Each structure stands twice: as structure tokens, then as C-alpha cells.
Structure 1
Amino acid sequence: MTAPGTVPRPVYLWTPPLNSGQLATVLNRLRGWTAFDGGALLDDIAAALDDVPPAEGDTAPLAERLRGHLARLVTIAVAREAYRDTTAAQLALLARTLQTEPLPPRAPGGDSAPAPAGLDRQRTSRPAHRPPLPQEGRAA
């Protein structure tokens, strides 16, 4: 029944935006998703920067976890469109570059300036093509 003075409008049958296969894909991705754990990131950074170096067998897993944290941070930054900020875009580019480079071997005898314990096995070489970052107090 319609109200007086109104014109009946057709009602269209609702169709779901995704088919069953697409919904299954979304469901599988949600099941495989884990929330970003900032506490784990800070724990791994602390282990790398600690005065006591990690055990030799813990270095490679620590490096892989740090690379994983870095990849997640870049993904989050890109998803939040942080690339609009020049500095953030440069850091994301640097992070992606570091992701593709192998970890350098530990130098025998170490460098002239000792790195914090654990970092001598963790550090990556600074790429020559790294864009300069703006310094505090200076315009970008």
C-alpha cells in the first residue's frame, strides 16, 4: 500500500558485492592475518642493541624478524598513504632497498668504531644511492 500522492518505485533484488569464491579468499586472508605487535618489534630492537650480543644461533632469526617488522611497517605506511610525506616516502624506499640486500658478513676483527653489541652481526651496509634525509631544523 502506498501513501496518498506517492508514486510506487520498483524494488530491485539485492545482489552481494562478492561471489562465493571471492568471499572465501577474503575469509582466508582474514584467518591468516596477524595484528602488528609493536611490543615484539621493540623487544627485537632491544635484543639487537643490547650490551650483551645475542647468541650466535639467535642472530639470523633475529635479523629475519627485524626484516619482517620492517616490511610490515612499510606496508602499514603505504596503506595509510604516508608516501605523500617526502621523508616517509624516502624511508619506505630505503626500507625496501634494505629488504632486498643480503646481510653483510661479519667483518673479521670488526670496524675501528665498535657497533653496539649484536649490531656488528646485524647491520646492513648503507646503500650509496640512499636519498639524503632532511635534518632537524632544515626545510626538506
Structure 2
Amino acid sequence: MSAPRTRPVRPWTPPLDNRQLTTVLNRLRGWDPFDGCALLDDVAAALDDVPPADEDTAQLAERLRGHLARLVTIAVASEAEQDTAAAQLVLRARTLHADPLPRGREAAIAHLRRLGWTANELHDRLTAIRCLKEAA
């Protein structure tokens, strides 16, 4: 019977250096998980029969832009753009995200509703193709 062969084992080295680990840690600390309930609340506020007050319109538009940006990121990361409907919604979301809130009450409310509809439709599509879990 022969003796078992042994191979020298290289010492373990971490995959990331201190600078890279610090970058990862800072990104994790700054990360906010996707909140589907907050998205649905903001969509409901944007699409309600009673439009939000003038002083709330800009804040709601900014939150909806944030939801759209997060949904687009999720769509891209999960390769949802291979789905034609999802790809069209991602394009619409990117366009709306870049558009500033128009001046004038009626134009601002119309823009707010477009943001809300697009966020809702993209959320629904990503849920349908299993890139997201359904929000309660």
C-alpha cells in the first residue's frame, strides 16, 4: 500500500482588499430594499380621483421617479428587457424619469399620473414575469 499523496496548499487570500471591502460595506449601508407597499401607496396617491395638494406634488413626483429608477434597475438586472412589454415599459420609465415636473397645476398632475401609471404597469409586468414578488 502506497502512502497518500499530498499537495502543498496555498495560503488563503481574501478576494477583496481593504479598499474594495470598504466600498462594498458603504454600498450595503446605503442600500434601501425595494418597498412594494410604498410604491403602491405612491401610485394610489398619484392616480386618486382627488389630486394631491400643490405642496405635495413635487415630493410625490420625486418618489415616483425613485420607484421608476429602482424598477428599471431590477428589470435590467433580471434581464426582463427580453420581454417585449417589459422593454417598452422600461423605455417609457426612463423617458419619464428624465422629464422634469412641468409648470402649471394641470400639466403637473398629468405628468404625475403618467409617472404613477408607468410605475404601476412596470411593477405589474415585473411581477407577472417573476422578476418581483407581488406587493401586498
Fold in common (TM above 0.5): yes
Task: State the match for 2:83 in structure 1.
Answer: 85
Residue number among 35, 38, 41 corresponding to 1:43 in the alignment:
41
Q: Distance in 2 between matches of 1:6 and 1:77?
A: 52
Larger Rg: 1
In the alignment, which residue of structure 2 is the partner of 1:132? none
In structure 1, stretches of 5+ residues that fail to align are 112-117, 126-140
The SS at the match of 2:7 is coil
Decide whether aligned partners of structure 1 residues 64 and 87 sit closer, same or farther in structure 2, where only a CA change above 3 A counts.
same
Letter in 2 for 1:68: G
CA contact (8 A) 1:104 1:123 kept: no
What's the % identity of the aligned pairs?
A: 65
Aligned residues of 1:104 and 1:124 also touching (Cα < 8 A): no
Partners of 1:75 and 1:54 in 2: CA distance? 27
Q: Distance in 2 between matches of 1:122 and 1:97?
A: 13
Once superposed, which parts of structure 1, at least 4 consecutive aligned residues long, lie more than 4 Å away? none
- Show the counterpart of 2:97: 99
Amino acid at match of 1:120: A
Q: What CA distance in whole angstroms lies between the structure 2 residues aligned with 1:6 and 1:88?
A: 57
Output the TM-score relative to the length of structure 2. Answer: 0.74
Given that 2:61 and 2:112 are in contact with CA atoms closer than 8 Å, whether structure 1 keeps it comes out as: yes
Stretches of structure 2 that go unaligned for 5 or more consecutive residues are 116-136
When normalised by structure 1's length, the TM-score is 0.72
Determine if contact 1:59/1:121 at 8 Å carries over to the other structure. no
- Going by fraction, where is helix more abundant, 1 or 2? 2
Query: In the alignment, is the contact (CA less than 8 A) between 2:45 and 2:52 conserved in 1?
Result: yes
In the alignment of these two chains, the number of paired residues is 115
